Structure 1
């Protein structure tokens, strides 16, 4: 058998031998394999060394025949305080009496001197392997114990027999349910079912567990006072070494508070949605009122703009009429001037005199008309410019209000249309002004725009 030095290096050895030479040589040799080696010259010293270092010493190798206190007596005293530490006897004798006593003292092995080192290390390796397995097992048991403690402190634990009758409940279950342990022992598992829970849930649970399958789901359990609590439950069958079912264990987590919080959140969300819906309806009604008001004001502005365009057309027509009258008057004046310069002027002195008077009157009338036209033109221009500016400002104001409360495509398109319409009318007015400028007399234009 190969020697696993890593296993031996984990252990501490107590070596008791009265022969100084053998003890010294073997201590040095074993020191290469073990973590630490204590050596003692007799049973009394060996006992004292063990008692002082009991938690550290893992294996004892001792001779039987020693002065002061022999090996048998030393081991007997050690067994009084420690029944598990492995012991190997080394002796030159193979007396049956010693062997019988060694068996009573639970001595692990027995080797005959002179010691075969290979055989000794092989025996110690077997012991080290078993000790390591025991260490791992203890470690697992400690971990399982911690897990169980954590499980018990945070979860409801219920155990049943093969018929799913309750055999154990933990303290947390009693705290939550209000039942005492002795009130439930022997009761069937579904005794905990709240009355309004469907029987199908427990039928399915029983069918799974009794067929050696696990079950997971939510349960609504009854409390002693008649109220209930909700759990997230996991039920698994327990088996013996042969795989036969011995019962079941249920691990449950109380989720009552969690469900209550979810319900509160859902109710709050529903209330919030209802409030939002009501506010949106109120806001929509208010918005519709504002939009309708803006529509009415826009329609009024449109009517005013159309009326202004009609007035502008009238003004343009009147202006064109007076322009033509002025032109005719200028033509008549030119004819009168031309006739007054002919060779027969001296024959028509009386007529010329009358004509001069008429021309004077016509000039005065023309001047008066020009002045009146100039005043009317300027006044009309100022009035309509102010009207157009006022309408443009009103449209801009209505547009801004409409943009702040409404994004409806139709209204926006209408607004854009009236913007474009206003631009077109402005352009039209500019074109009319250009036409007026192109046809009117320069003297009149200089007086109007001078």
Structure 2
């Protein structure tokens, strides 16, 4: 048989042997398999070592014939302290008297000297396997016990017999329902039903459980004071070792407070929805009013912009008119100068004087026209710069107001359209200024733009 070294490493061994050579050699070998090997040279020392390490030692391997205290006497004293520790005797005896003593002391195994190490390890492996299974079983039992405590402390637990008559209720059930346990023992499970619960609920529950099937659902249970509480319930049949049903167990969680909170939340949500609807209706009216106002402002701004465009057209027309007049005046002056030079020989009197007078008048008129043009162009430039700035500010303000109160895609598109149009008109004014600069007289431009 193979030895599970990892299994043996879970346990601690007490080895008692009076032969120094055997004790040293075997203890060193066993140290490779066990988590720890405690060694004693006689029964008295072995008992003392056991008492000092009682909670740790799992297996005792001991010789029988030893000084001070033999193996049987030592094990008798150990059994008086711990009745469960596993014991293996190593002995040269195999008579009936020894076997009877070993049985009385509940010794698991015995081996005959000289010791067969393989056989010893095989026996120890069997014992360790049993100990490990007992340990797992103990852990499972402790875990189940903890689960039961948690279950009992947090859930209603009801047990019934095969006819679904109540045989047990836990403290939490009594605390919630107000009933004492003796008031319900022997009564049917459906006696807990609140009067307004449909009979079909318990009919379906009984049918499933009595057919060895679990039932799950919500129950409305009666309290002792006539009120009720709600639970999430799970009822399962319990079976005996032959697989026959011997009763049922119901685990229920009180959800009364949870349902009450849900109802409160639903009522609050209904109220909130009503308030939101009223506010949204009021807000919609207010928003429509603001939108209409913005539409009116946009239309007004559009008219102002169109008026400004017309004024700009007039300004361009006037500027072109003045430019042509200037050009004509300069042509006339040139002609007058030319004629005065060519005819000087025969027009030295009155005509020459009239020509000078006319030239002076033309120069004065030209100067006056230039001054008027300068003032007019300068004033128009200032006025339209202010107007464009004012319109841009208005459009920006209206855009911000419109963005803050509504998200109507059509209005946004209109706003983008007027923004783009304002931008195009600004560009158009700039282009006109460039055209004026390109075509106007340089001396006149220097006076206008400084």
Q: TM-score range by the shorter chain?
A: 0.5 to 0.7
In structure 1, the residue matched to 2:415 is 411
Q: CA deviation at 1:330?
A: 3.1
Out of 411, 428, 445, the position equivalent to 1:424 is 428
In structure 1, the residue matched to 2:340 is 337
| Paired residue secondary structure (2:242) | coil
Contact 1:59–1:85 under 8 Å retained in 2: yes
- Deviation string for 1:90-120 (max 9, x for gaps)? 988648xx96x998x68568999x88967x9
- Deviation string for 1:289-319 (max 9, x for gaps)? 6633641452243144134224414523652
In structure 1, the residue matched to 2:367 is 371
Would the alpha carbon gap of residues 281 and 48 (structure 1) be closer, same or farther in structure 2, given more than 3 Å must change?
A: same
What do you get for the CA RMSD once the two structures are aligned? 5.4
Are 1:150 and 2:146 an aligned pair?
no
Q: CA deviation at 1:420?
A: 0.2
Are 1:391 and 2:387 an aligned pair?
yes
Are 1:248 and 2:244 an aligned pair?
no
Contact 2:88–2:109 under 8 Å retained in 1: yes
Would the alpha carbon gap of residues 25 and 335 (structure 1) be closer, same or farther in structure 2, given more than 3 Å must change?
A: closer
- Deviation string for 1:310-345 (max 9, x for gaps)? 4414523652564366357537735762674355x4
Separation (CA, whole Å) in 2 of partners of 1:415 and 1:107: 104
Separation (CA, whole Å) in 1 of partners of 2:446 and 2:58: 129
Q: Map 1:180-199 onto structure 2 (within 5 A).
A: 180-193=180-193
Structure 1: which 5+ residue stretches go unaligned? 347-351
Contact 1:165–1:186 under 8 Å retained in 2: yes
Would the alpha carbon gap of residues 428 and 2 (structure 1) be closer, same or farther in structure 2, given more than 3 Å must change?
A: closer
Out of 300, 308, 311, the position equivalent to 1:308 is 311
In structure 1, the residue matched to 2:272 is 271
Would the alpha carbon gap of residues 68 and 41 (structure 1) be closer, same or farther in structure 2, given more than 3 Å must change?
A: closer
Q: CA deviation at 1:7?
A: 5.9
Separation (CA, whole Å) in 2 of partners of 1:192 and 1:362: 128
Separation (CA, whole Å) in 1 of partners of 2:359 and 2:254: 113
Separation (CA, whole Å) in 2 of partners of 1:419 and 1:50: 102
TM-score (norm 1): 0.67
Are 1:212 and 2:226 an aligned pair?
no
Structure 2: which 5+ residue stretches go unaligned? 404-411
Contact 2:399–2:415 under 8 Å retained in 1: no
Q: CA deviation at 1:243?
A: 1.9
Q: CA deviation at 1:386?
A: 1.1
The 10-residue stretch of structure 1 (361-370 or 54-63) with the greater mean CA deviation from structure 2:
54-63
In structure 2, the residue matched to 1:173 is 173
Would the alpha carbon gap of residues 253 and 330 (structure 1) be closer, same or farther in structure 2, given more than 3 Å must change?
A: same
Contact 2:157–2:249 under 8 Å retained in 1: yes
Contact 2:240–2:246 under 8 Å retained in 1: yes
Q: CA deviation at 1:49?
A: 10
The 10-residue stretch of structure 1 (193-202 or 409-418) with the greater mean CA deviation from structure 2:
193-202
Separation (CA, whole Å) in 2 of partners of 1:401 and 1:196: 66
In structure 1, the residue matched to 2:238 is 238
Are 1:436 and 2:440 an aligned pair?
yes
- Deviation string for 1:167-211 (max 9, x for gaps)? 322223333344332333344445445566666665555454344
Separation (CA, whole Å) in 2 of partners of 1:136 and 1:443: 112
TM-score (norm 2): 0.67
Would the alpha carbon gap of residues 111 and 302 (structure 1) be closer, same or farther in structure 2, given more than 3 Å must change?
A: closer
Give the count of matched residue pairs. Answer: 425
Contact 2:168–2:185 under 8 Å retained in 1: yes
Q: CA deviation at 1:3?
A: 8.0
Separation (CA, whole Å) in 1 of partners of 2:81 and 2:212: 46
Separation (CA, whole Å) in 1 of partners of 2:448 and 2:26: 131
Would the alpha carbon gap of residues 401 and 264 (structure 1) be closer, same or farther in structure 2, given more than 3 Å must change?
A: farther
Are 1:326 and 2:329 an aligned pair?
yes
Q: CA deviation at 1:376?
A: 1.6
Separation (CA, whole Å) in 1 of partners of 2:11 and 2:448: 120
Separation (CA, whole Å) in 2 of partners of 1:51 and 1:445: 121
In structure 2, the residue matched to 1:292 is 295
